[in-house]
Structure 1
Amino acid sequence: MKKLVLAGAFALFGGLAQAQEGFRLGGHIGAPLGDAADAASVTLGIDAAYMWNITKGLDIGAATGYSHFFGKDNVDDFGFIPLAVSGKYTFNKVPLFVGLDLGAAISTRNYINSGLYVAPRVGYQMKKVELYLGFQNIGSKYKNYGPGPDPRWNRNDRFNFGAVNFGANFFLK
């Protein structure tokens, strides 16, 4: 019985040691969509996550980063810092994956509220790198601070700051 318990413990800890967990660090470039397209010309960002392998093909973790929207037509640059739960499923026998980040995005400007963050993506999985095409959306509210250069942005209303992104992430262990 003692040998069986010892063998089980080695199998359990050996399996944990083989788990595919670690840091994912990368960046993205994108084209703003929705209300963000009225205010920004391009978005650049960095992505970071720590992922745990739950079962074969399924990784779950915590993600953050920064997305910077470059303003156009007298609109200041603005950005968001997402704090999200990240999930990724890699298909068996093909190097493709689908993923989703869901959480909150903290605004870096005092005139834009923080909001709900949703970022689905599809991509190509290599051993140490993933390339992806994704969509990010931040449902937020623009705070009315009086008249400004653009009447579209001078109301107390809900906005969707979105972008279609192309990115690359690198796995660090």
Structure 2
Amino acid sequence: MMKKLLFTVLFIFLGMTYSIAQSDIKLGIHGGAPLGDADDISSFELGGDIAYIFDPIGILEVGPLIGFSQFFGEDGYDDLQFIPVAASGRVSLPQLFFVGVDLGYAFGLDDNVDGGFYYRPQIGYNFFKFAILVSYSGITDDNYTLSSLNLGVELKL
């Protein structure tokens, strides 16, 4: 059931990406230090995402995002993997800086974790088609909050 849902979301996302040629596709990768509940069971977080972004007004970018995130287990704990599906938004600031947030749901890929609310506030700096960013990501369920402080890079296609 989860695999069918994941493939359906991915198919819709890719279809939107190819149907509108006046958009930007952003590919990102980030790594970070686990915080909170994740710090007790994980040594490192690594993730990547792809976003279809459009610019409805000069300083605002919005669009869908899908990604992959893995918390690497330590002290006998297994790795935890998630597929975040989110709405992404950014506001451009002076001097090529931006602030943004991704909000959605992270689907758990492991038997012992279902998933939860996904959020990722961020701040970054644009270098033409390349950006660096700092973000705080979190996945919250009734029983836990897995979070990390991240450093990432992004490429606009």
TM-score normalised by the shorter chain: which range applies? 0.7 to 0.9
Q: CA deviation at 1:20?
A: 6.8
Structure showing greater radius of gyration is 1
Aligned length: 137
Residue pairs, 1:30-41, within 5 angstroms: 30-41=32-43
CA-atom RMSD in angstroms: 1.3
Q: CA deviation at 1:166?
A: 0.3
Matched, 1:170 2:155: yes
Instruction: Report the equivalent of 1:81.
Output: 83
- Consecutive unaligned residues of structure 1, counting only runs of 5 or more, are 1-18, 142-157
- The residue type paired with residue 66 of structure 2 is T
Pair 20,58 (structure 1): closer, same or farther in 2 beyond 3 Å: farther
Q: CA deviation at 1:21?
A: 2.4
- The residue type paired with residue 145 of structure 2 is N
- The residue type paired with residue 128 of structure 1 is K
Instruction: Report the equivalent of 1:99.
Output: 100
Q: CA deviation at 1:39?
A: 0.6
Give TM-score scaled by structure 1 length. 0.76
Name the CA distance, whole Å, in 1 between partners of 2:144 and 2:114. 10
State the identity as a percent. 38
Residues 12-61 of structure 1: per-residue CA shift (max 9 Å, x gap): xxxxxxx9721000200100011011110001111110001010110000
Runs of 4+ in 1 over 3 A off after TM superposition: none
Q: CA deviation at 1:140?
A: 2.1
Secondary structure at 2:69 match in 1: strand
Give TM-score scaled by structure 2 length. 0.84
Name the CA distance, whole Å, in 2 between partners of 1:36 and 1:169. 24
